[in-house]
Amino acid sequence: MTVRFFATIRTYTGETERRLDDAPATLRELLTALAARYGTLFRRAAFAGADLNPEIIILVNGRNVLYLRGLDTALSQDDEVSIFPMVAGG
Amino acid sequence: MFGWTGTTLRVDLTKGTVTREATDIGLAHTYLGARGMGGKIILDEVAPDTDALSPANKIVFSPGPLTGTFAPSAGRFEVVTKAPLNNVIAGSNSGGAFGPELKYAGYDALIIEGKAAKPVYLWIKNDEVEIRDAGAIWGHTTPDTTDLVRAETDEDAKVACIGPGGEHLSPIATVMNEMHRAAGRSGVGAVMGSKNLKAIAVFGTGAVTVADPERFKTAVMKARKMIQEHPVGGTGLKAYGTDVLVNILNQTGALPTRNYQDGYFPTADKIGGESLAAKQLVRPKGCFSCIISCGRVTKVDNPAYAGFGEGPEYETAWSFGADCGIDDLDAITKANFLCNEYGLDTISLGSTIACAMELFERGIITAKDTDGVQLTFGNVAAMVEMTRKAGEGEGFGAKLAQGSYRLAESYGHPEYSMTCKKQEMPAYDPRGVQGIGLNYATGNRGGCHVRGYTIAIEVLQNGAVMDPRITEGKAGLDITFQNLTAALDSAGACLFSTFGIGAPELAEMLSAVTGVEYSVDEFMKIGERIWNQERLWNLTQGYTTADDTLPERLLKDPIKTGPAKGEVNRLGEMLPEYYQLRGWDDKGVPSKAKLKELSLN
């Protein structure tokens, strides 16, 4: 599994991507593990209490997890997860 | 009048006359300013069969009632005219500082008609207006023009001007202001060029009067706070600029690649906002009264592409980048600087070069056509060289400067021009994002994202979310965005303030400034009226439902790689509902009932 970080998320992780040999079963588990690794700023970006932070955008294989199962979205080893803060432009 | 100045300036370049007129109050209340007011003036004063480059066309520079106040990001104005690119009412929006200065000089609109016998520029200092000789300035780039005009007028004058692009009457020529801000689309710069009008310099010592200062101050402070607290309006855009979009569109699988042959560009990260911030950013920059500061002051040190200026924006990084199969940010930024200097639309020119690259790779054109250049996807030096040639109007560049539709059609293959109504689509692949495809297809000015930026909801999660892959609900979404944006554009506010505020805040600020009560419904209705007005004009130009479409590639050829592999745009599922919700018949013609409701003929 590849997890990619973008924009300010990169400043929290210090890297642009991380490959995982063992995919966590759900997005919740993935984000919890990443928060444990990267610390408070990442955790605050990812979570609002026990819920997904509304100001984070997470795509699994290009699909926003809000149309999948949110934090309960199941993950598999082939998946690509992309994590963005809210971004914009025109 | 409050908000509005009450005065419209009319300059006849044929006769050399300057007339001050009272701004039509009814017009102002109903159409606000900028896009709406300018569009109404064109509709009323320019005969539909007028050649866009003839002296009979008119060009209107119009700020809005909010422009020049301290409402957040209230620095916008529009350049409105019959479009040389595609005959629509071109309403090209721009920031910088020119719009506020027009208000301070005392004007709601500057209407320019006729044609000067020789190159001229306008010098507007409050009430004093001169038509001056521009013989020594003609031929110069936009930054040099700005400096030269300021030297002859006032060093603090705000200058809108054309470069060689507009002088050559390129249908993708821009009007630049403050050197680096573009009124970019639809060839408005060519209309100035056709009138021998090189530049307009404005200096104003007046102010915008506000009807209810206390109410306005409260509304503005609230709006500024909402923008500041928004992750995008508050910090995101300042940190990374619009170019931050490269990666999210690519990860969504909707970054058009190699002339829309694909929707995923593997090395996209090299041209995104993160890379730009790391390699080229000198500092962010904001326009008048703006805390968002999305602008990029940039510098390229690489000697091959050395330069200094502003940009690139996302659309530009895409058009000269992924769309040309190029991941060299230095070269892309150089192309961006060249476009600003020559006064050419980065979206249209980048997309046109991409079109030429496809024609070349398919053998439809050869090195004989392209001045010996191997114009293939990924050829960085060729892309930059062709940009320069387009600006100079030199060799094959002169053909590129005509835009991709005319280019591809001249070689018998218009299907490789990625345009709607002859205007190049911007940087969102409708096969990966359904609703933006409907917006491109129904856009009054052709391929355009800003006037119905459903991306905010379909991809960027700005306040609400809708799945980009579905067509349900997209007709309504598009209409809401199109109407809101038309009203916002006409008020003089910046679209990016909607990363923070919405119609309620805009209507409140507008009411407080003007003393005219605008409810949210009325504000949206103004937008709907303007949209329908632009549609009515298009009907006079021969546009029909057949033109509310996308290139066949996007309807038939699935995306080849990436997260949206296999997708096409399903316009047919959205368009009938769009017409119906708009109150139009099944040919896309506004019904009599709808026109009556909007007080349109």
Q: Each residue of B462-509: pLDDT tens digit? A: 988 999 999 999 999 999 999 999 999 999 999 999 999 999 999 999
Cα-flanking dihedrals φ and ψ of residue B405, to 5°? -65, -50
Both tokens assigned to B547: 């033109």
- Helix (H/G/I), strand (E/B), else coil: A36: helix
The closest of B309, B297, B393, B390 to B351, measured between CA atoms, is B390
Amino acid at B281: L
**What pLDDT score does B495 carry?**
95
Q: Which residue of A lies nearest to B457 if distances are taken between CA atoms?
A: A88
In a domain, A90, yes or no: no
Per the DSSP assignment, residues forming a β-bridge with B20 are B9
How many domains is chain A partitioned into structurally?
1
List, as ranges, residues 48-77 from A with C-beta within 8 Å of B.
Answer: 54-55, 57, 59, 61-64, 66-67
Chain B positions in Cβ-Cβ contact with residue A84 (cut-off 8 Å): 247-248, 251
CB contact under 8 A, B460 and A57: yes
pTM: 0.98
Q: Cβ distance B174 to B192 under 8 Å?
A: no
B295-300/B181-183 β-pairing: unpaired
Give the HSE-up count for residue B37: Cα atoms under 13 Å, Cβ half-sphere.
Answer: 32
User: pLDDT digits over B536-583, tens only?
Assistant: 999 999 999 999 999 999 999 999 999 999 999 999 999 999 999 999
Give dist(CA B472, CA B484) in Å, integer.
20
Cα-flanking dihedrals φ and ψ of residue A43, to 5°? -60, -45
B36, B489, B502, B521, B523 from B508: Cα distances, Å: 19, 16, 10, 12, 10
CATH number at residue A20: 3.10.20.30
**CA geometry: angle at B208 spanning B204 and B209, to 5°?**
140
Give dist(CA B145, CA B275) in Å, integer.
32
**What pLDDT score does A89 carry?**
66
Chain B positions in Cβ-Cβ contact with residue A66 (cut-off 8 Å): 461, 465
**What pLDDT score does B477 carry?**
98
**What pLDDT score does B278 carry?**
96
Q: Cβ distance B219 to B117 under 8 Å?
A: no
Both tokens assigned to B184: 């970019």
Give dist(CA B435, CA B420) in Å, integer.
15
Select the residue of A8, A66, A86 nearest B462 (Cβ to Cβ): A86
- Residue B311 sits at the chain A interface (C-beta within 8 Å): no
- Residue B467 sits at the chain A interface (C-beta within 8 Å): yes
- Residue B244 sits at the chain A interface (C-beta within 8 Å): yes
B120-125/B128-133 β-pairing: antiparallel
Give dist(CA B129, CA B19) in Å, integer.
10
Chain B positions in Cβ-Cβ contact with residue A46 (cut-off 8 Å): none
Give dist(CA B265, CA B427) in Å, integer.
12
**Interior/surface letters B357-385, b for 16+ CB within 10 angstroms, e for the rest:** bbbbbeeebeeebbeebebebebbebbbb
- DSSP-derived letter for residue B67 is T
- Helix (H/G/I), strand (E/B), else coil: B20: strand
- Express as a percent the part of chain B with pLDDT over 70: 100
In a domain, A20, yes or no: yes
> What CATH code would you report for B7-203?
3.60.9.10
**What pLDDT score does B464 carry?**
86
The closest of B474, B529, B463 to B499, measured between CA atoms, is B463
The residues near B6 (Cβ < 8 Å, ≥ 6 apart) are: B22, B23, B108
The residues near B554 (Cβ < 8 Å, ≥ 6 apart) are: B260, B429, B430, B431, B437, B568, B569
**What pLDDT score does B479 carry?**
98
**CA geometry: angle at B147 spanning B146 and B152, to 5°?**
100
**A71 has a pLDDT exceeding 70:** yes
In a domain, A36, yes or no: yes
Q: Cβ distance B258 to B377 under 8 Å?
A: yes
Per the DSSP assignment, residues forming a β-bridge with B177 are B160, B181
Select the residue of B239, B467, B496 nearest A8 (Cβ to Cβ): B239
CB contact under 8 A, A59 and B467: no
Average pLDDT for A48-55: 95
List, as ranges, residues 289-308 from B with C-beta within 8 Å of A.
Answer: 294
Residue with tokens 């993160």, as numbered in its chain? B274
The DSSP element (H or E) to which B297 belongs, if any, is strand B295-300
Burial class (CB in 10 A: 0-12, 13-18, 19+), B156: exposed
CB contact under 8 A, A64 and B564: no
CB contact under 8 A, B462 and A66: no
Select the residue of B251, B272, B462 nearest A88 (Cβ to Cβ): B462
Laid out side by side, the sheet with B158-161 consists of B128-133, B120-125, B197-203, B158-161, B175-177, B181-183
The residue ranges of chain B whose pLDDT is under 70 are: none
What is the distance in angstroms between the Cα of B42 and the nearest Cα belonging to chain A? 27
Convert B191-226 into a string of H (helix), E (strand) and C (coil): HHHHCCEEEEEEECCCCCCCCCHHHHHHHHHHHHHH
**What pLDDT score does A90 carry?**
64
Domain boundaries, chain B: 7-203, 242-424, 434-549+570-597
Q: Which residue of B lies nearest to A84 if distances are taken between CA atoms?
A: B248
**What pLDDT score does B463 carry?**
82
| Domain spanning B434-549+570-597: CATH 3.40.50.300 | no
For chain A, the farthest-separated pair of C-alpha atoms sits apart, in whole angstroms, at 38
- Residue A8 sits at the chain B interface (C-beta within 8 Å): yes
Which residue range(s) make up the domain with A6? 2-85
**CA geometry: angle at B83 spanning B260 and B30, to 5°?**
110
**Sign (positive/negative) of CA torsion A25, A27, A29, A34?**
positive
The DSSP element (H or E) to which B319 belongs, if any, is helix B314-319
Both tokens assigned to B270: 């090299």
So what's the architecture of B242-424 in CATH? Orthogonal Bundle (1.10)
Give dist(CA A35, CA A45) in Å, integer.
9
Give dist(CA B492, CA B218) in Å, integer.
19
Cis link prior to B312 (omega < 30° from 0)? Answer: yes
Q: Cβ distance B290 to B315 under 8 Å?
A: no
